[in-house]
Structure formats: structure tokens, C-alpha cells
Amino acid sequence: MKQDPSAPATATSHAQGDLSHIPPRDKAELLSQALPYIRKYHGKTIVIKYGGNAMTDPALQQDFAEDVVLLKLVGLNPVVVHGGGPQIEDALNKLGKKGHFIQGMRVTDEETMSVVEWVLAGEVQQDIVGLINVAGGKAVGLTGRDGGMIRAKKLKMVDKDDPAKEHDVGQVGDIVAIDPSVVKALQDDQFIPVISPIGFGESNESYNINADVVAGKLAEVLKAEKLVLLTNTPGVLDKAGNLLTDLSAREIDELFADGTLSGGMLPKIASALDAARSGVKAVHIIDGRVPHAMLLEILSEQAYGTMIRSH
């Protein structure tokens, strides 16, 4: 079971990543502690959902890129799926287009969908690819269209109060199938795939899909060792606000039943739970506001979030 160091929930300065103040013996100890994890996960796939502060704070962006490159260099196979809600909102505001939401879901008409595509598959994706390449990796940007990866259909949104009623939220998609062959081909060739959560339908129409859902389904299809969801929360908290570092799928069900889990965490937890039940050995919901939290969560005993085990 991982130890919770009660990590601060705010991003510390980038300078704290400097190890010059640590004595050589302690540095060696840190590196040797990572060795069993490197050995255990060598050659294994890790799907990472990149979002929240980690994606908008420049110092945390750099930390994330360095972490992904390090994981690749020590023999793991990271696959990045990114979100981009705030960036889409900014772009729509600049165009004078007012966002319309139904039950928390953005109504995506044709014009909004074209903005979503150029923000996610253009600006956001290429920023991430650039950061990883500058950090010494070889990233390649993809959308669900590439290699026919994500086939989708129109999401049917049922009214929360009246199950007989459905809302039309436009070009918001539900995943029909994922073909991971293009991702596998890139992984085998030392590349790091960076995926925008856009799928395509039977008539070649585009669909905007929730990035947590894409990451979860991709982790299942790739038979990933781990699914890592970067968030703006410390992880899953109990009713008293304490971090729950280690949970089974059954314990998560109990937290749903007694009302501990609700609100914005629900879609994240649902994706995590589906992945854990479908063969992904562990799902980590971690605090992306803590520098290098992802690396520490995967390659050390420290817990920087909640790990959900498949059993």
C-alpha cells in the first residue's frame, strides 16, 4: 500500500526540482528505489490523460514533458490523451460564440465542432508534441481519424429527470470501436503518441468525445498496465476530506452508494472503474498540480493520488 506524504495541493516552484542540495548517497537511494518499478513496468503500456493545471501552468507543462520522456527512456510505453476545455472556451469567446450547455455537456453544433478540431488537433496537440520533443522525446500527434483509430456515433443524452426524454447535444460522440494498430506501430518505433479525443462517424462526420472516456477505452484496448488521470484534485477524498490512496473497484462502488462520490469526479471515476474492470491492472487519479506527481506515483512508494485496483 502506498504512503500518503500529504503532498501540498498547489504547484511548488520549478526550482524545487533541482537536486543539487541532496547528498550523493541520498540521490543514489532515490534512484535505486525506482529500480524495482522500472523492472516491473519495462515494456508495459501506460495511458495518461493529460489535463487540468498540469496542462496550463508552464512549469508543470515542462515537468510533464520531462516525465513522459523519462518513462519512455527507461522502457515504459507512455500514450498521452489530452483534453482542452479551457482552450476551446477561449477560442469560442474570441469568435464571440457563447457556449451552451445541457446537463454539463457542451452543445456542439457544426461551427463549434470545427473550432474544437482546430483547437484540440492543432494548437493544443502541437504544443504538447513540441514540449515532449524539446524534452528529448519523439512525440507524434494523432486524432481518432488517423489510422481509423476511433469510430464514434452521436451521443444520446437522456434527461436526468425524465428518462423518456433525450437532449440533442450536437456532434458529441460515443465510442463505437477503437482500432489501436496505429498507436502500437508508433510505440514499437520508439515514438510517443499524443492523441486528441476526436472520433469519426459513418458519414465521415467528426465527433468531440470526453477525453477521460477516450483514455479509459484506449487503456482497455491496449491492455495497458496503468491508466493515469491527471486532475486538479488530490485524488479521491472521503467525507472528512482525507485522501484515499488505495481502493478496489468494490470499495469505489460503496463510495458511490453512500454518496461520498458525486459531482465533477463522477465521469472520471466511471471511466477509471470501467478500465479497472476491463483488464487495466491499476488506475491512478493523481494531483497534476504537484510537480512530477506522475513520475513519483509510478516509480516510487509515495502516493500522489488514488490508486484503483482491478480487484
State the binding site for substrate: 84-85, 106, 208
The annotated binding site is made up of 84-85, 106, 208
| 8 Å CB contact between 70 and 82 | no
Three-class secondary structure of residue 217 per DSSP: helix
| 8 Å CB contact between 212 and 271 | yes
Report the alpha-carbon angle 218-51-143, nearest 5: 45
Cell of 172: 458529441
Q: Identify which of 208, 211, 172 has the alpha carbon closest to the alpha carbon of residue 79.
A: 211
The b/e string for 95-117 (b: 16+ C-beta within 10 A; e otherwise) is eeeeeeeeeebbbbeeebbebbb
**Cα 142 from Cα 194, distance rounded (Å):** 6
Q: What is the end-to-end Cα distance of the chain in Å, rounded? A: 14
Alpha helices, H only, the chain: 24-41, 58-73, 85-94, 110-117, 125-134, 181-188, 211-221, 249-257, 265-277, 293-299
